[in-house]
Amino acid sequence: MASKADLSSGSGVQPERFGRFYLQELLNSGGMADIWFVTDGKGKPYALRKLKREFRFNFTARRNFVRGCEILSKLNQSDYIVGYVEHGKIEGLMYMLMDYVEAANLKELYARQDPILTENVAQILIDMAVGLSHVHESGFMHLDFKPENVLVTRNGRVRLIDFDLSQQIPETPKKMSKYPGTPSYMAPEQLQREAFDARADIFAYGVAAYELLTNQKPFPGETPADILNAQLDPSGPIPPRQHNPGIPVAMENVILKCIAREPDRRYPFSGVLVRDLEHALYV
């Protein structure tokens, strides 16, 4: 989420109205929704996620959007999840209102080697896992955990976003009728359309951490088939310390445990992951 524009420029241009809100600045444009910095009639700032007009009759997009809103509404009691305010329809378009935080996503910060990231990387890695643990303890799998869905504020605090693909954690690994997600961060069992559970999120966390600390993907590939072939390679991924010798040995072990091919070899719970991260990173 980009920082907001200077609203006192005196340009005289009136912002567009959207119901009771004023659309001040487009912060991000995703596949099916835009996120705006908005203010209400009292000038209070919010982030507003608005379904794009071309998706207003797309039932899959509408269902995913509403699911993301409803799940986030149940996760708002955490400092590591973007704050939910309300959701509904305005002018026939679905929207969700969230707390506004001046932040950028982890992918953007890494691309420009922002000092916020380089100075706080250990705490960011831990906070990402704490946020994921909160999602799991609330009974949900994120299922699209990746750097683009991790916001980092100006003081280095983490907020997880985008729960459109989230599902309830099944009692036992479960097959799904559809397997949406971002292939680079999907576990082998997802790419093979097999039964999975919340350990798929732990795999995604490991991929994101590997990428953050090495500037490489553990399982490179241009297509889902390429990525799966890399995951199934008996030799396994290149250990992170071969790319970056500065990574602590204990942190390397945490990452490799997260991205183990078999779910039973990964962390059983994200809370245990948080504990090992704190020990590995001396925080």
Nearest-10 crossing angle of helices 115-137, 199-214: 180
- What's the whole-model pTM score? 0.90
pLDDT at 5: 41
Q: How far apart are CA 259 and CA 53, in angstroms?
A: 38
Q: Is 251 exposed, middle or buried (0-12, 13-18, 19+ CB in 10 A)?
A: buried
The answer to whether 270 touches 122, Cβ cutoff 8 Å, is: no
Q: According to DSSP H, which parts of 74-187 are helical?
A: 106-111, 115-137
C-alpha 125/C-alpha 120 separation (Å) is 9
- Taking only the tens of pLDDT, the chain with its 283 residues reads 444 444 444 445 678 999 999 999 999 888 899 999 999 999 999 999 999 999 999 999 999 999 999 999 988 679 999 999 999 999 899 999 999 999 999 999 999 989 999 899 999 999 999 999 999 999 999 999 999 999 999 899 999 999 999 999 999 999 988 888 999 999 999 999 999 999 999 999 999 999 999 999 999 999 999 999 999 999 999 999 999 999 999 999 999 999 999 999 999 999 999 999 999 998 5
Half-sphere exposure of 175 (CA within 13 A, CB side): 4
Amino acid at 67: R
Task: Give which of 205, 135, 144 is closest to 179, Cα–Cα.
Answer: 144
Which of these, 158, 125, 163, lies nearest to 142 by C-alpha position?
Answer: 163
Q: Is the dihedral of CA 41, 45, 49, 53 positive or negative?
A: positive
Q: Distance between CA 166 and CA 70 in Å, rounded?
A: 10
- In order of 83, 121, 151, 158, 162, the CA distances from 246 in angstroms are 35, 13, 25, 23, 32
Q: Structural domains in the chain?
A: 16-98 (3.30.200.20), 103-280 (1.10.510.10)
pLDDT of residue 76: 65
Distance (Å) of CA 86 to CA 35, 49, 66, 83, 94: 14, 11, 11, 10, 11
Residue 118 confidence (pLDDT): 87
**Biggest CA pair distance of the chain:** 63
